[in-house]
């Protein structure tokens, strides 16, 4: 009797501890989510109420129309579209260029290949912010200030994609392409119809992180897009700060809207994101 | 053309060389888009940045070479440079330590759960996928005078000046925001590494009577130390470049209290148009990144355990 009763008491105690453990972390998570709540809570009140003292956690009057008003106050739809154009274009160029170069590094023999690959890896150590000035001067000289080309091209040729896809291509068995080669398929044909379809996990990952990186990018569009109509979302958000004081409620509404794509992707693709980060963890930087 | 000439010169290897030459040509065309982009937007800017840092170019007019004048001015004549350097190091040191401690703590906590691990991971990861500007703007409202933060503090009867307008507290506000935005990535990274620790190691230790504390310090921590090292190096590199939060929340102020190297590059380059001077600051930043990374690689011999 005693052992069974003891086991039962133990099980009950672990269960209680488990519930406590989950509950405590849930509390921390809720605290962590507070800024998101605060954003929405302030987006749906009048600007006077945002600034009212003392602070109110929930609005007195809910003004859900603020989202629509913020959208029309500044050319927000335009900012959204601009961000979309930039993020999608950079992603497409990055994927195409990285597929081509990744394949060359993984499968083709040419003199100096390994040295070139090392040089590519070396460029990954250069911090982006350092190159801002010469990049701006290049864009300026090419007459691309305030153009989409100016925002898109300088960030679309990173070397990380070439390296990532090379690593993935190496894991695809050679035999799969050999049959096609004997049939006389060109290398480009092999890349497009055999390698790329098999590499969708890696290409998806590269696309996801490139897209989000550009969607959230601030400094580069801030410098290149000087006219207000050409601004991307993050740059456009800062415009609420200067025009006739700060329209806090509209900024909050705009900020909340700008977060939607990232939040949706993070939730929907959580497994892919976890796996990709786990890959990093597994390699441990080796 | 060249390849055929070489192939003809070595008849014994002719067939193979011709094949190789064909492959070399294909490789050249496959690499061409990437090479053009990398040359134009990476290699050339790196060289240009070095050259610029030795000129006095102000965007308009002719640049002149000034030798090390920019660097001398930085270290000896610019009254703002040392505070900026100190702010950057202060930010990086405090942010790095807190980020690693908090994200490791959260990762261990999450991995101790029996249910819902993935949802907690998503929650802490969310800020990573949202625009840093949007994040900084909300926190600016939270820290505004008589805003939510001041409200909480006065409810707790803690009397401190408003964070963003106080010389000594503004940097703390920037660090809090950066932590909120940046802890999630490392949390998921460390959590993934902890998931990979073989369960039978921990089980064996438990049977041998090792406490949870011992199992953490003597088994889990050494086994994830390569990942911990990787996370620390990457976090250090990004935190030395901090910009977005500072631009939105404080513009380097109050006074010079939150001006960092990243902000100084922007300010000197794109507000004062001192392109040469700003490039010199960029190279100081690069030197610091390299030095800190080298230091971490040196330090890793003392605490990172590799299996093989």
- Nearest beta carbon to residue B34 from set A97, A234, A281: A97
- List, as ranges, residues 258-277 from A with C-beta within 8 Å of B: 258-259, 262-263, 265-267, 270-271, 273-274, 277
> What are residue A45's phi and psi, to 5 degrees?
-130, 170
Predicted local distance difference test score (pLDDT) of residue A129: 85
Angle between helices B148-155 and B132-143 (to 10 degrees): 40
Q: Does A226 touch chain B (CB under 8 A)?
A: no
Nearest to B126 by CA among B175, B171, B173, B187: B187
Q: Scan residues 33-52 of B and list those with Cβ closer than 8 Å to A.
A: 33-38, 40-46, 48-49, 52
Does the distance separating the beta carbons of B48 and A108 come in below 8 Å?
Answer: no
Inform me whether the pLDDT recorded for A73 exceeds 70.
yes
Test B134 with A256 for CB contact under 8 angstroms.
yes
Which residue stretches of chain B are H helix?
A: 2-9, 14-38, 44-52, 69-72, 81-111, 117-125, 132-143, 148-155, 170-195, 199-207, 212-215, 221-239, 244-249, 261-266, 275-303
* Chain B, nearest residue to A112 by Cα: B24
* Whether pLDDT at B188 is above 60: yes
* 8 Å CB contact between B3 and B25: yes
Residue A219 to residue B118, Cβ atoms within 8 A: no
Task: Say how far apart CA B244 and CA A219 lie, in whole Å.
Answer: 7
Select from B41, B115, B180 the Cβ nearest to the Cβ of A135.
B41
Q: Please say if the pLDDT value at position B10 is more than 60.
A: no
| Radius of gyration in angstroms for the set of CA atoms belonging to chain A, rounded to a whole number | 25
Q: What was the pLDDT predicted at A199? A: 92
Mean pLDDT of all residues belonging to chain A = 88
Residues of chain B contacting A212 with CB distance shorter than 8 Å? 129
Q: Which of residues A116 and B17 earns the better pLDDT score?
A: A116
Chain B contact present for A239, CB below 8 A:
no
pLDDT given at position B14: 53
Say which of A108, A251, A255 has its CB closest to residue B23: A108
Task: Quickly state the pLDDT bin for B17 (edges 50, 70, 90).
Answer: low
Distance of alpha carbon B42 from alpha carbon B123, whole angstroms:
36
Interface membership of A54 toward B (CB under 8 Å): yes
* Number of neighbours of residue B263 by Cβ within 10 angstroms: 24
Which residue has better confidence, B23 or B88? Answer: B88
Which of the 8 DSSP states describes residue B278? Answer: H
Q: Mean of the pLDDT values across residues A4-25?
A: 88
What is the b/e burial string over B208-245, where b = at least 16 CB atoms within 10 angstroms of the residue's CB?
A: eebeeeebeeebbbbbbbbbbbbbbebbbbbbbbbbbb
Q: Is B110 on the interface with A (CB under 8 A)?
A: yes
Whether B40 shows a pLDDT value over 80: the answer reads yes
Question: Which pLDDT does position A285 carry in this prediction?
Answer: 43
Tens digit of pLDDT for each residue in A86-100? 999 999 999 999 999
Number of Cβ within a 10 Å radius of residue B264: 28
CA distances from B10 to A123, B3, B4, B17, B19 (A): 37, 11, 10, 9, 14
CB contact under 8 A, A97 and B33: yes
| pLDDT higher than 90, residue A135 | yes
Find the CB nearest B45 among A22, A131, A162: A131
Question: Which pLDDT value is given to residue A229?
Answer: 80
Q: Locate all alpha helices (DSSP H) within chain A, ordered by sequence.
A: 2-43, 47-50, 66-73, 76-107, 113-123, 132-141, 148-152, 160-170, 175-182, 187-190, 196-198, 200-216, 219-224, 233-242, 248-268, 270-283
Whether the per-residue pLDDT at A2 is higher than 80: the answer is no
What is the distance between the alpha carbons of residues B13 and A286, in angstroms, rounded to a whole number? 39
Block residue for tokens 């290699």? B43
SS3 label, residue B47: helix
Residues of B within 8 A of A129 (CB-CB) are: 241, 243, 262, 265, 282, 285
Cis peptide bond prior to B172, omega within 30° of 0: no
- For position B236, what pLDDT does the model report? 94
Average pLDDT over residues B52-70: 85
pLDDT band at B1; cut points 50, 70, 90: very low
Q: Which residues of B touch A215 (CB under 8 A)?
A: 131
Tokens of B161: 């000046």
pLDDT score, position A217: 93
Contact A79, A255 (CB under 8 A): no
Residue A265: the pLDDT is: 93
Alpha-carbon gap, residue A95 to A103, rounded angstroms? 12
* C-alpha neighbours within 13 Å on the C-beta side of residue B306: 9
Contact B114, B258 (CB under 8 A): no
pLDDT, residue B5, reads 46
Residues of B with CB below 8 A from A195's CB? none
Q: Determine the average pLDDT of the residues in B160-178.
A: 92
Cα B190 from Cα B174, distance rounded (Å): 24
Q: What residues of A are in contact with residue B46 (Cβ under 8 Å)?
A: 123, 126, 131, 134
pTM: 0.89
The yes-or-no verdict on residue B15 having pLDDT over 90 is no
Predicted confidence band of residue A134 (pLDDT cuts 50, 70, 90): very high
At B8, the pLDDT band (50, 70, 90 cuts) reads very low
Q: A 56-95 residues with CB below 8 A of B?
A: none
- Of A221, A218, A154, A156, the C-alpha closest to B48 is A154
Among the partner residues B120, B148, B293, nearest to A55 by beta-carbon distance = B148
- Residue A176's pLDDT is 85
- Looking at the complex, does the CB of residue B90 fall below 8 Å from at least one CB of chain A? no
Interface test with B, best of A117, A119, A130 (most B CBs within 10 A): A130
For chain B, the average pLDDT equals 88
Contact A38 B138 (CB under 8 A): yes
Using one digit for the tens of pLDDT, what is the confidence trace for A225-234?
Answer: 877 788 899 9
ipTM beyond cut 0.90: no
């Amino acid at each position: 009797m005693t052992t069974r009763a003891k086991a039962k008491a133990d099980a009950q105690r672990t269960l209680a501890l488990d519930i406590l453990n989950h509950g405590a972390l849930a509390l921390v998570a809720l605290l962590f989510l507070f800024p998101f709540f605060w954003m929405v809570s302030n987006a749906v009140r009048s600007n006077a109420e945002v600034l009212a003292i003392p602070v109110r956690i929930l609005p007195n009057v809910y003004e859900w129309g603020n989202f629509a008003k913020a959208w029309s106050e500044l050319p927000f739809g335009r900012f959204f579209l601009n961000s979309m154009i930039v993020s999608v274009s950079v992603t497409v160029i990055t994927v195409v260029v990285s597929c081509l170069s990744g394949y060359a590094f993984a499968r083709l023999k040419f003199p100096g290949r390994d040295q070139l690959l090392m040089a590519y890896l070396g460029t990954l150590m250069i911090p982006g912010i350092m190159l801002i000035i010469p990049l701006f001067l290049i864009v300026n000289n090419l007459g691309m200030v305030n153009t989409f080309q100016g925002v898109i091209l300088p960030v679309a040729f990173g070397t990380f994609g070439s390296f990532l896809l090379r690593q993935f291509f190496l894991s695809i068995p050679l035999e799969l392409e050999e049959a096609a080669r004997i049939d006389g398929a060109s290398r480009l044909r092999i890349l497009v119809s055999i390698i790329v379809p098999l590499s969708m996990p890696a290409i998806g990952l590269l696309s996801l992180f490139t897209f989000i990186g550009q969607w959230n990018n601030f400094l580069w569009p801030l410098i290149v897009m000087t006219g207000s109509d050409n601004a991307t979302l993050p740059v456009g958000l800062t415009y609420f700060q200067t025009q006739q004081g700060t329209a806090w409620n509209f900024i909050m509404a705009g900020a909340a809207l700008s977060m939607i794509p990232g939040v949706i992707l993070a939730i929907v693709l959580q497994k892919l994101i976890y796996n990709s980060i786990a890959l990093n963890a597994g390699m441990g930087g080796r | 053309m060249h390849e055929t000439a070489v192939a003809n010169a070595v008849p014994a290897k002719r067939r193979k060389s011709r094949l190789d030459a064909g492959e070399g040509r294909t490789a050249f065309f496959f690499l061409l888009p990437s090479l053009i982009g990398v040359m134009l937007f990476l290699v050339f800017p790196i060289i240009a940045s070095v050259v610029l840092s030795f000129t006095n170019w102000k965007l308009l007019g002719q640049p002149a070479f000034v030798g090390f004048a920019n660097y001398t001015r930085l270290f000896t004549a610019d009254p703002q440079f040392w505070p900026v350097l100190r702010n950057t190091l202060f930010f990086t040191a405090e942010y790095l330590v807190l980020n690693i401690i908090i994200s490791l703590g959260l990762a261990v906590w999450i991995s101790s759960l029996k249910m819902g691990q993935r949802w907690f991971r998503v929650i802490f990861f969310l800020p990573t996928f949202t625009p840093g500007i949007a994040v900084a703007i909300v926190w600016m409202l939270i820290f505004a005078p008589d805003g939510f933060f001041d409200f909480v503090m006065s409810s707790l009867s803690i009397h401190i000046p408003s964070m963003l307008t106080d010389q000594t507290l503004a940097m703390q506000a920037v660090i809090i925001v950066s932590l909120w935005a940046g802890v999630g990535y490392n949390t998921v990274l460390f959590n993934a590494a902890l998931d990979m620790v073989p369960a039978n190691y921990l089980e064996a230790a438990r049977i041998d009577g090792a406490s949870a504390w011992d199992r953490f310090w003597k088994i889990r921590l050494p086994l994830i130390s390569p990942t911990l090292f990787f996370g620390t190096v990457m976090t250090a590199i990004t935190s030395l470049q901090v910009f977005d939060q500072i631009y939105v929340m404080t513009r380097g102020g109050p006074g010079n209290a939150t001006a960092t190297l990243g902000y100084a590059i922007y300010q000197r380059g794109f507000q004062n148009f001192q392109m040469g001077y700003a490039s010199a600051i960029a190279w100081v930043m690069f030197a610091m990144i390299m030095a800190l990374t080298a230091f971490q690689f040196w330090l890793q011999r003392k605490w990172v355990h590799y299996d093989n």
